[in-house]
Structure 1
Amino acid sequence: MSTILPAEECGETPLRRQPTQRRSARRVERMLDACAELLDEIGYEALSTTRIAERAGVAIGSVYQFFPDKRAVAQAVTRRHVEGFVSRIGARFLAEDYGGWWDAVDAIIDEYVEMNRTVPGFRSLHFGDVVDLNMLDPVADNNTVIAGRLRGLLLQEYGLADSEEFDLAILIAVEAGDAVLKLAFRRDADGDPAVIAEAKRLIRGYLNRQFARASAS
């Protein structure tokens, strides 16, 4: 029934091989950190595996040991952004009491805004759409993958009725929110507060109408 991919169906890892030792895993993390920093400093077009290796303090062969090219490194950074985003939202859901799904939606937007402000590479890549609309999955576009993750969180926390209509509503909310929040950061490097507030009102209003329609049918 669902048209949105759950987490376990979101494509293959961009790694050529998984690091099996702690030392190798730390080296890969340094490469991802270096890539994220460079994306904010010089952008994707000027990014190269040589620059990633130099910033990470590793040999260029170490980069190619795990990644075939710069796109794969950026893809791994994007996946880290997604996992961090979902994890941080999940932590908020556990730590804070919300009056309902509408407050949870506000929290999701607040987390997106915070990551834009503080997480290296996020404002340059977001969820990979800047580089490739299929950065996260070869079949589903990036926002469809994100919608699937948020859909799972909302279903789990609020027991909303699962349906194709619910899937479509979440996907449209993600697409609309993504566009308006990007506008907020184009207008102001820290995110224009007025536009962020409008994004919350827009998504709340849209989802409220869709959920009310689903409940009535």
Structure 2
Amino acid sequence: MGAIVFLVAYLSVSFVGGALSDRSLPLPDAPAADVAAYYSANLAAAVVVALLQAVSVLGFAGFARAIVRVSTAEPAKARLLAGTAGISVMAMLVSCALSLTLAINAASASSTTVQTLRLGSFYAGGVANVATLGLFVLAAASVLARGRFLGAPSRWFGYVAGTLATLSVLSLAFSYATALLPIGRILSMVWTVVVAIVLARGQRPEPEQSDGTVPQRAWQDGTIHPN
């Protein structure tokens, strides 16, 4: 459920924000006056968008907690998963808080304050959130594959999604890498849904023997059942 909330709530942001606002959100490097004008005129949109983003990332937190529990056999990896997930969640929550603060104070805040809040929200909810999400996905794909919770397709999907999300950090230096932010984020979100479905089904991939046969079936609870 957490993974679905993570994806659906985030995808709702564009639709709800567009429906409630009278103009497009200015780019992060737009003049402070334009940013202040947008938030002053679209307080309801800004509040709803921030709340949806918070709900989305809390859905991810629930998913990540379940993955950490599954990974307790590898304490170091479990700590890495908990750490990267925690940073990713906090980054988005900080972004939401900064956005709400800007929306409430846009009419009276100075240009410097407006720019600081806008850029802070952008970087926290952008590269900080996405890059750490990518690290989590990479680590989770590896751990779940070693525990035989994931087969090759899901594992490699995680590697690709996690790599693209992690590489979004390059957007800090190269503008063309900005495309990695939405691509890496959405692919990572979709991967969490795929993994949630796989785990909910409760069946692990069947191990092949040296002769290519598969004599037994392993399930998520760790028991072995004959075919």
**TM-score between both structures, scaled by the size of structure 1:** 0.29
Larger radius of gyration: 2
TM-score (structure 2 length as normaliser): 0.28
**Greater relative contact order (Cα < 8 A, sep 6+):** 1
